Amino acid sequence: QKEVEQDPGPLSVPEGAIVSLNCTYSNSAFQYFMWYRQYSRKGPELLMYTYSSGNKEDGRFTAQVDKSSKYISLFIRDSQPSDSATYLCASAGSGAGSYQLTFGKGTKLSVIP
Amino acid sequence: DSGVTQTPKHLITATGQRVTLRCSPRSGDLSVYWYQQSLDQGLQFLIQYYNGEERAKGNILERFSAQQFPDLHSELNLSSLELGDSALYFCASSVASQTTGELFFGEGSRLTVL
């Protein structure tokens, strides 16, 4: 079992829709949770960053972490065609030996005008 | 623009050959990470260097090696290439030695092995 599982999609929604992207993870040591956005032919860029459980909001984006169920979510409100990209969830632990992020495989999102 | 520069952007080579991928981190970043991205495996961590020293190793094959130079640029060497090595190779950098998730990625080097 991969440490971070993500539905690869693809996911296609109309412009203005609310998008929900989800991941599950298995490593209880994970404390840091991220969402990266990757446009076609580009490198991933950090979109949202959360430490431990809870919600974080940034404009149209909300990240949620539920450590009790090991569930990570990203919500996009009022989705725009410019949101069309692959979204990668990622997690990292704390303490020794946890220097690298573990990524999900990514969900490809298309927002149709 | 993340500030991380990778060269070459595209590379086509034959099985059995050796290639070198180069990465210049963001100004001021001491850590360099190498990742491999393929359709079936997603983004896989290969290796991390911090200020010239190897810091962590992931799923890096013995045929692959990396180093970080005094000017902090890094090179990833891939040898005895196989068809399955075809992938996107990303370099990322960060200030800290221990990742908090805030990595800055380059645009990648696309390797095709024929």
Q: pLDDT tens, A75-103?
A: 999 999 999 999 999 998 765 555 578 89
Q: Which residue has the tokens 């001021």?
A: B28
Residue B46 has pLDDT above 60, yes or no: yes
Contact B43 A106 (CB under 8 A): yes
Q: What is the mean pLDDT of chain A?
A: 91
Tell me whether strands A45-51 and B19-24 are parallel, antiparallel or unpaired.
unpaired
Q: Which of A25, A42, A101 to mutate to test the interface with B (most CBs of B within 10 A)?
A: A101
C-alpha triplet B56, B35, A74: angle, nearest 5°? 105
Residue A3 contacts B where some CB pair is shorter than 8 Å: no
Q: What is the mean pLDDT of chain B?
A: 93
Residue B110 has pLDDT above 60, yes or no: yes
Structure tokens at B112: 């095709």
The pLDDT of A17-42, averaged and rounded, is 93
The pLDDT of A95-112, averaged and rounded, is 81
B8 Cα distance to chain centroid = 12
Q: Is residue A112 exposed (0-12), middle (13-18) or buried (19+ Cβ within 10 Å)?
A: exposed
Who among A42, A98, A104 is closest to B42 (CB)?
A104
B34 Cα distance to chain centroid = 3
User: In chain A, which residues have their Cβ closer than 8 Å to the Cβ of B106?
Assistant: 43
Q: What is the pLDDT of residue A29?
A: 84
The pLDDT of B67-82, averaged and rounded, is 97
The pLDDT of A44-62, averaged and rounded, is 92
Alpha-carbon distance B51 to B64, whole Å? Answer: 20
Residue B62 has pLDDT above 90, yes or no: yes
Residue A82 is given by DSSP the state G
Contact B48 A44 (CB under 8 A): no
Residue B3 is given by DSSP the state S
* Strand ranges for chain A from DSSP E: 4-6, 11-14, 19-25, 30-38, 45-51, 54-58, 61-66, 71-76, 85-93, 102-103, 107-112
